[in-house]
Chains A and B, each alone.
Chain A
């Protein structure tokens, strides 16, 4: 079972993420924990000893109410592995601490899909994402699909992509496709011959075969990041290594309607 921490807030992204995890649980056995951090205003953080503890308890109970409200509203068909984890303090510090001390296999968080790649990049380049000890699932949409994709491109290390993604997707009943992406300004997305994927694609296929993982389909596509992002919507999730800021893969992942599994 994948020990997973899902961070939730009271918003649309979390609403989608909760339901998505319930779906994912049907294809990958998950031990799901939900967490939330109450970030109090620095000016409010006064006092020591019991005064501070009482203040923290008060703030934490606000967080607990929020999480309870979300869980009640969404009423997801997925049992939680433990009570919701509510922390008080800096969001990123608290989550990193929990991920490390709890030895999680996966961290998941909702992200409201926008057309702005910068917003996506700043989301995935935060210190939380940089320091997280496990793969991160950015849940963008509730895609009910039986397929997932490994996103390959020239800048991707096949070893890292395969080795780090497999503990998550290899444990699932999802069929695995490899999508090799090449950027080109085109009117419409174009499917190329498999040979166009070159050595990176061959290596990815061979690593998957070595790991005893069958591949359902291989597609080499070329087009704009927007077109490719739209193409990926057929997948429950798209696994990728962390992209560089200016790479076309970053733009593609930003435009992906499917959820993104980031590994390093």
Chain B
């Protein structure tokens, strides 16, 4: 299903989703007992049993959409590891009667639901759909939130993700991340002649599409924080150079013609410039390029390998990795290149630092005793925690809420020389490690900001 939101018309329309959002009044308000809430900073919390009723519809078409929306909401919440959706076969109260008369809370307590989601889908005279949902606290017997959205029928999946985000936010107090996408490198063929293509999909794997045809090597895509653009490394002109690709128009362009390799690109938080490494006579240093003027600014000047730069979310600082001290370690500098200080001091080598969108943590790849790990540390280098470890894993990327990371993992070659590469996600607490299904092998994931 093609998304319509990328054309100018669709963009305006998408604005309508938010504009038409209505707060729905409660059926009843009662004195509150302790409110249903998950503290996601603690890690390994017991998932909350939640009943997600199929959204009711006024005809066959809207009933089908209603069931599909409930399925997507349920899958989003389940994958977060914070919720355990209850099988619909166990439901006692019929969904239609919730919409008419409110929940019979005793029926939902009887099946151990702590939270209940109900909703409806109605077709509007102009052809749009109105999707409404309510989140209920079963033990307090009260509505926690209720919202309505208007959308074109083709956009129903996005509405489902927005509803899942609203439920996540109401119960955890944190912004959700379900209405977002992943760009990554799809891999196929033998390792010596691996075919790599840029691919993009919703964070739940839906709406998968390829952005390049595999006729040239592509690596390390990253989203613009502000536009439907991706910066990545491409060999399409024979030599490895940083490119920018517009997701809607598929237009791509090389960022500057330099004698040396340009690589490791990443957008600045304002989307106005790209930071990257450039090699001159074998020495890699970090540069930033203004995307409007194409002016290039050198930020490091050191004979060591300086690469994998990433801005802090306020744009004031840059974390990068360098072997200037003898082995790969993480360094932070001011955005103008000044005041360089090393932050990683543990055993092993550190690489691919990425600043959290919340600003509180830096994720990294760690190489220790022949194995690879994904971890996080505070921007001053303290509080290092390893979240995942295996033969080879690399390249963490943050969910827009800064609570979940995605990375890729590669198995060692088997006796026939075959190794498999795939995407994984893990909570920032180190719990809820999950494989992210992709049609073929996968590496270099990058999470988008929340969709506009």
Is chain B found bound to chain A in the same assembly? Answer: no
A interface residues with partner B (beta carbon < 8 Å): none
